[in-house]
Amino acid sequence: MAYRPTWSGHLKLSLVTCPVALYTATSSGGDVHFHLINPKTNNRIKMQTIDPDTGPVERSKLVKGYEVSKGEYVLLTNEEIQSVRLESTRTIDIERFVPADEIDRLYWDNPYFLAPDGEIAQEAFAVIRTAMERSGQIALGRVVMSTRERILALEPRDKGILAYTIRTDAEVRDPAVVFDGIRDVKPDRQMIAIAEKIIEQQQGPFDPSQFVDRYEEALKKRIEEKQKGRKVAAVAEPDDTNVVDLMSALRASLAAKGKGSARRPAKGATGKPAAKRAGSASKASKARKAG
């Protein structure tokens, strides 16, 4: 099934321009979706748009309003909102190139695929993409999506370009507000050494196929059990562990890990580890490592 583009326009590097389309790179969540049901009638609840003075209002007749003071709004139609146009509304203009490790991972947001839009765009897109790949740096541009201008970080990925929206400084909270309360503790060197050995035992390649939503799987199983009329068993809450002797707990963890065999990465249809099939995925990972 072909994907529908989220945005389409042009990619521009200085005087070189080509038509491109931006596609969402991820899916939006799992398979379990709930509806609000009235248990007395088993009917699905319908949400209505209601004016507190006049009652229900047709959604098609509503407009958007920006609150300028308490209870006072400036009303804007969709046409008026769309009339605000910047160059980035239809063009991703590459403004600068930066080393990947200069972008703190806090600022990386949502991923998109950027591809040429039509046959006429193929050559110019290939020129821009290849030049970016040879530079070894991240290209930064801007694009208007969902009534906001967003920074885009661009990097070559397979035959196309991986684009990440980058959060603005105003969107990122100050970590000091949370971290300043952490005391300056100097851990025992032996404890650190044991913890490092535990980490070594758990090292391995990243294979996303090994990580599934276990909560959703358990939820599906519970829905299936209830559908068949089975009684839902209560799950016991785990007891809190009171670690009196941290050194003993670390040594016991190291011994337990040592008895288990090292896990091998899962193999796909090709018989090769998924981590090796990822190819240029490692480039995207490196691009998000900073700070």
- The answer to whether the CB of 117 falls within 8 A of the CB of 108 is no
pLDDT of residue 131: 93
Burial label for 109, CB within 10 Å (0-12, 13-18, 19+), is: middle
Phi/psi region, residue 272 (left: phi>0; alpha: psi -120 to 50; beta: rest), is beta
pLDDT of residue 239: 59
**pLDDT tens digits for range 59-109:** 888 889 989 899 899 988 888 877 777 777 889 999 999 998 999 999 999
**pLDDT tens digits for range 30-56:** 778 888 999 999 999 988 899 989 999
Phi/psi region, residue 158 (left: phi>0; alpha: psi -120 to 50; beta: rest), is left
pLDDT above 80: residue 283: no
CATH 2.40.290.10 is held by the domain 7-29+83-171: yes
**pLDDT tens digits for range 111-139:** 999 999 999 999 999 999 999 999 999 99
Torsion from C-alpha of 172, 176, 182, 186, nearest 10 degrees:
110
pLDDT of residue 291: 44
**Cross-strand pairs, 156:** 161
As a whole number, mean pLDDT of residues 159-169 equals 95
| Rounded Cα distance, 282 and 277, in Å | 10
